[in-house]
Amino acid sequence: MLFLETLIGGLLAGTMYSLVAIGFVLIYKASGVFNFAQGAILLFSALLLVTLHEHGVPFVLAVLITLVALILLSILIERLVLRPLTNRSPMTLFMATLGVSYVIEGVAQGLMGANVHALDVGIEDVPVFIGDLMISQFDLIAAITAGVLVGVLALLFNKTRIGISLRAVADDTRAALSIGIHLNRIWQIVWAVAGVTGLVAGMLWGTRQGVQFSLSLVVLKALPVLIIGGFTSIGGAIVGGLIVGAGESLGEAYIGPLIGGGITPWFAYFLALAFLFYRPAGIFGERAIERV
């Protein structure tokens, strides 16, 4: 019973990791950028939302303003960072996003302060019982939210014109350019969509642990998820999140006591490493073919 509860709790917590990881995957697929700034974007959106709300802006309006801000931010990033760095190595782009994350964190905290804000989205973190299993209601709703988000994204990618162009760019950038897809516009859209997933993740994580600087460190939790699932697959991000969530809570419960506890910061990474030895590009990732 304890095992099952730990497992389910871990799986549900894992969907929260998946949410963060999906933002990464979207950007990596469309622009080949490993976006370290995702954590900063998460912090920025949650902080903006909470600050607006605290200043008396109605919640729905605050969400809309945050969305507009995220779109503006994506356009700025595309103009000022991505466009001048087109055709540079992936490592250069990664380091640039590291710089971007510093700028966003600095601006967000400079303008809105470094205090911890409580965010209340109206979901109570109380246990519910399903049969004999005790499950956190909040985790359950977070998992459902993640599911809905993935469904919406799947619709967006498969049914709309924008989504199909996105997939074309992800498949082969040069071919997409040659048939007249507006690459810069696609990048802006993808970054904005990733920003929106960041906002959703930021709201959920913010409710759980308060909106504060440590929110941007959630990005470090998402990295092992990406490794396990692969950088290029949304499905992989979900499965990876579940594996990491379950692995972490089981590891902390069963392996932790043997070696002194507090192993969550690195356990997921070792789990990811173990996976890497068998699948060097993750479970669902595309294996790169190298040509000389």
Contact set with other proteins (CB under 8 A): 34, 80-81, 84-85, 88, 90-92, 94-96, 98-107, 109-110, 114, 220, 223-224, 226-227, 231, 259-260, 262-263, 265-266, 269-270, 272-273, 276-277, 280-281, 290-292
Minimum CB separation of residue 231 from other proteins in Å reads: 7
174 or 287: whose CB is closer to other proteins? 287
Closest CA to 223 of 157, 160, 270, 188: 270
**Do residues 117 and 54 touch, judged by C-beta distance below 8 A?**
yes
34 or 138: whose CB is closer to other proteins? 34
Q: How far is CA 272 from CA 182, 216, 275, 287, in A?
A: 36, 21, 5, 17
Minimum CB separation of residue 233 from other proteins in Å reads: 14
Minimum CB separation of residue 243 from other proteins in Å reads: 15
Minimum CB separation of residue 115 from other proteins in Å reads: 10
Closest CA to 288 of 238, 234, 232, 227: 232
Which token pair is 159? Answer: 């049914």
Minimum CB separation of residue 4 from other proteins in Å reads: 28
Minimum CB separation of residue 103 from other proteins in Å reads: 4
196 or 227: whose CB is closer to other proteins? 227
Residue 163's CB is within 10 A of a number of other CB atoms, namely: 17
Work out the burial of residue 156: count CB atoms within 10 Å of its CB; fewer than 13 is exposed, 13-18 middle, 19 or more buried.
Answer: middle
Minimum CB separation of residue 242 from other proteins in Å reads: 18
75 or 281: whose CB is closer to other proteins? 281
**Do residues 138 and 207 touch, judged by C-beta distance below 8 A?**
yes
Q: Which residues pair with 133 in a beta bridge?
A: 130
59 or 102: whose CB is closer to other proteins? 102
Q: How far is CA 182 from CA 62, 84, 179, in A?
A: 31, 16, 9
List the Cα angle 26/30/36 in 5-degree steps. 55
DSSP state of 252: I
84 or 122: whose CB is closer to other proteins? 84
φ and ψ at residue 133, rounded to 5 degrees: -85, 135
Minimum CB separation of residue 191 from other proteins in Å reads: 15
φ and ψ at residue 134, rounded to 5 degrees: -100, 125
88 or 182: whose CB is closer to other proteins? 88
56 or 84: whose CB is closer to other proteins? 84
